[in-house]
Structure 1
Amino acid sequence: MAEDIVTGRQDGVSDDALVAATGKSWAEWFAILDAEGAQDWKHSVTARWLDANFPIGGWWAQGVTVGYEQARGIRNPGQRQDGSYEVSASKTLPLEQQETLDAVIAAVAAELGAPASESRAVRHITARWPLSGLEGQVGSILATAAPSKAGKTSVSLTWSKLEKPEDVAPAKLRLQGWLQAAAEVG
């Protein structure tokens, strides 16, 4: 089922991984945050409180906060703080970084046209397609190619500013399709 391809934070980080990184399980973090009344806090307040009170680092504080918000029904999987939705897909291609971005651009451009912008003079090179104005489309698509390692490059596609939760799963399927097409082009 298409909806099953979009999961929450807890589905992506096991209890074992969370304990190894933070010293606590999801249930322990949720109990701590519930005891503090965090269900009524804004996202940024929760993340800052975690970072200030526990030595887990900002990245894990954000992750625990998102997992808590999803578990308590404050935020849906893929939902951003502004209420919009975002979804990503990634793939490793057996190409160098520039070739990988070229393959992704070719795959996405076959449907959406050339990207509005590219940035190739940075460590993580990107291409962006704003979708406003395209019939039936909202948000934007960002392709990001990480630096190559041993002739392979990890590339991600992120679709931002989706309006409704039911838009997330179909958007992820499209992203995965473009990445598969890029793998075939490359």
Structure 2
Amino acid sequence: MVERIDKNMGPAALQAATGRTHEQWRDLIEGAGGLEWTHRATVDWLVGEHGVDPWWAQGITVDFEQDRKGRLPGQQADGTFTVARTRTVPGERLAALAAVRAAVEARHGAPHGENLAAAQPVVRWRLDDGTRLAAAAQQPNRSGTPVGVTIERLPDAGAMAAAKAEIDAIFAAVG
């Protein structure tokens, strides 16, 4: 199960970084007309009017949408759902990504795109059911390279469990 963002975005960290609590941000956004705004408009307002760092602005906006607009955990601004998992894979960045890529290709065929020269190398697939899958390699650490696998454009919350199981099967195939 995906949890609400306020369970992952600690109140002390939020207040230290932005000067306000979850509830203070929610009340401020709603008072300014935020119930009628798009996700992007809310983020832009937080950054432009209140000088909030864009990363925090995204989190504050999702928190507001979940608390005041009924957005479900895992739901994107367009109404679709996304799941993501990260595992540390032995090896340097491109080798770790190649191992995950091979596991995905065995299940879903050739990718439709890649950017191996990016700051976070990524390989992408369009799946037969209309969803999209991406594997991205982060900075290596002492135990290997964290590789994130994301499946997006899921039609509803009910599809999230199968997508999580698919990601787990991909990582299991990597070993």
TM-score (norm 2): 0.89
1:81 aligns with 2:77: yes
Deviations 1:129-164 (A, max 9, x none): 111xx3xx2211010012324462121111111111
Deviations 1:104-127 (A, max 9, x none): 112222322232333222221111
State the distance in 1 between where 2:172 and 2:18 align: 35
1:156 to 118, 132, 148: 148
SS in 2 for 1:56: coil
Percent identity (aligned): 34
State the distance in 2 between where 1:118 and 1:30 align: 38
The alpha carbon displacement at 1:81 in A equals 2.0
| Alpha-carbon spacing, 1:21–1:181, altered in 2? closer, same or farther (3 Å) | farther
Q: Where in structure 2 are the equivalents of 1:36-55 lying within 5 Å? A: 36-55=32-51
33-42 or 96-105, which moves further after superposition? Answer: 33-42
RMSD across aligned positions (CA): 1.8
Tell me which of the two structures has the higher relative contact order, counting C-alpha pairs closer than 8 angstroms and 6 or more residues apart. Answer: 1
Q: Where in structure 2 are the equivalents of 1:17-96 lying within 5 Å? A: 17-96=13-92
TM-score (norm 1): 0.84
CA contact (8 A) 1:96 1:151 kept: no
The size of the alignment, in residue pairs, is 175
* Alignment-mate amino acid for residue 26 of structure 2: F
* Alignment-mate amino acid for residue 92 of structure 2: E
CA contact (8 A) 1:85 1:160 kept: yes
State the distance in 2 between where 1:169 and 1:22 align: 34
Q: What are structure 1's unaligned runs of at least 5 residues? A: none
The alpha carbon displacement at 1:37 in A equals 2.6
1:13 aligns with 2:13: no
State the distance in 1 between where 2:160 and 2:166 align: 10
1:171 to 159, 163, 174: 163
State the distance in 1 between where 2:77 and 2:117 align: 30
CA contact (8 A) 1:86 1:161 kept: yes
